[in-house]
Structures are given as structure tokens and as C-alpha cells.
Amino acid sequence: MKRGDKVRMKKTILLFFIIVLLFCNNVFAEDLNDFIADPSQSNEYVYDELNILSSEDREYINSTNRDLQNKTGGQVVIYIVDSLEGFTPEEITEEIFQKWKIGDAEKLNGTLMFFAINDRKMRIETGYGTEGFIPDAYASRIIRNMAAFFSDEAYSEGILEGYNEVLSLYSQEYGVDIENAEKANMEYVEENSEFDEDWIMVLIVVIILILVFSGLDNNNKNNKNNRGNRRRRGGGFYPPFGGGFGSGGGFGGGFGGGFSGGGFSGGGGRSGGGGASGGW
């Protein structure tokens, strides 16, 4: 086979695999999109295909959500399904956020609480503007609190407990009282938060001490090696690491919303991928 024919064959094979990959990706996207319910099928802020929540539970979530949205622009959606249908919780919640457009268009402050009951999986997905006051660690603690209820098959109680905790974080962040909102059991989150902050400070102090004493030790060794020489080649403090620390980033996107009929209507589209997943 001529060299030119080999090159053409390689290009043809490569093109074939690219087409196959694009086709598979498109099929996956269509399947996932079909799996996600249309917002109009929800009972306002609640989608519950298993009817786990009572009508009183749904009304409580909807009424407190309305007040939350009026005062802060925030929205907290409860989404309950039977199973994951082969998808991951992260794939599903990201698609729900994009399809349902959860939260305010400028504040980006939507939150999604997702539950796949028979697969024993759940996830809290936060919008860009929610990540600051519901960080991943807090979301993980809320999930662990709910898991304790779910292990006893007390699903509605666990969901309401988690919802009330999320609602309390909104209330604290914006300095508002949500009408008829039940008091959440936030002691667990607050105690653990203080514990974590204390240990973070201890860790920072330990690292600083290690750097200081390592630098002093290096300096003493340099002095011993240079003792007796007329010219000192160096001196002062040399940290064991050269460099620094920093972080940065930016996010874009938008949310907003209102309601029409009995379904849900948002106005943004996607989350920042923050939150936490768990099981029971």
C-alpha cells in the first residue's frame, strides 16, 4: 500500500471514530434530557414522582419557598425520583439546573435537593451565588443528617429536616425571616463548623512553625559551613519552600424565575457544580 493510501486510511478511521463518539454523546444527552421532567410537571417547587411527601409537606415547601423567593430571589427545589436510570447524581442535577433554571437571574442563588430513593442516593446542588453560604462541607453535613432519617425509611421527615436546614442558611445569609418556616436543627452544623475552624487555625500555626524552624535550621547549617571564612556568602532566613499561595476564579451564569400555573419556572440555567452527594 502506498504511503498516501495509508495516510488516507488513517484519516478515514479517525473520522469514523469521531463520528461514533459524537453520535454516542448526542444519544447520551438526549436520553438524559428525556429523563429530566419538564418543570410544568412539578407541583411548584416540588417534583415527587413517588408521592413520598404529603400534600401538607408540599404546601409547606411551596409556601416557604414563595416567601423565600419574594424576599431573596432564592429558590430551593425538591426533586424525587425512583432511580438514577444509569446516570450519576451529578449528571442529573446539573441537567435539572440547566433545564429548570433555578434561582434569581442576578444573585444566582438557587439550590436543588435531589433524591433517588431506590438507588439510595441523594445530592444537594448549589448555584454560583449559593456556594458561599452553602459550601460543600455544609451540604455534606446536611446530607448526613438526612441519611440518618432515610436509614429508618423516614423519607419525608429527612427531606423536611434537610430542607429546613437549607432554608435556615438562606435566612442567615440574607438576614430575613421566612414566614411559617420551622426551626431547623442547625446545632450539628454549627458545632462542627466551629470545630473545623479551630482545627484549621491549629493547622495553619503548625505549618508556620515548621517553616520557621526549618528556615532557622537551614540558616544554622549555613553558618557552620561558612564559619572561619572572611566572606559570608549568605545569611538571613531561607524558607524551605520558594513560592507562595494564591487562588482565583470567576463564574458566570444567571438565574431568575417566577411561577405560572401549577408548575415551576426559573430563569437562569446552570449551577457551578458545587454541593455534595451521598447515600444511606
Dist. CA 36–CA 275, nearest whole Å: 19
CATH number where 85 lies? 3.10.310.50
Q: Domain for residue 251, yes or no?
A: no
Q: Domain for residue 236, yes or no?
A: no
pLDDT at 167: 95
Number of structural domains in the chain: 1
pLDDT at 156: 95
Is residue 5 over pLDDT 60? yes
Per-residue pLDDT band for 133 (boundaries 50, 70, 90) equals very high
Q: Domain for residue 270, yes or no?
A: yes
Q: Domain for residue 10, yes or no?
A: no
pLDDT digits (tens, 9 = 90+) for 57-84: 999 999 999 999 999 999 999 999 999 9
- Calculate the average pLDDT of the chain: 76
Q: Domain for residue 219, yes or no?
A: no
pLDDT at 10: 64
pLDDT at 242: 41
Q: Which domain holds residue 79?
A: 39-187+263-274
Q: Domain for residue 157, yes or no?
A: yes
Is residue 250 over pLDDT 70? no
pLDDT at 138: 93
Q: Domain for residue 239, yes or no?
A: no
Which regions of 25-120 does DSSP assign to beta strands (E)?
Answer: 46-48, 75-81, 110-116
pLDDT at 43: 80
What is this structure's pTM?
A: 0.63
Is residue 196 over pLDDT 80? no
Q: Select the more confidently predicted residue: 214 or 223.
A: 214
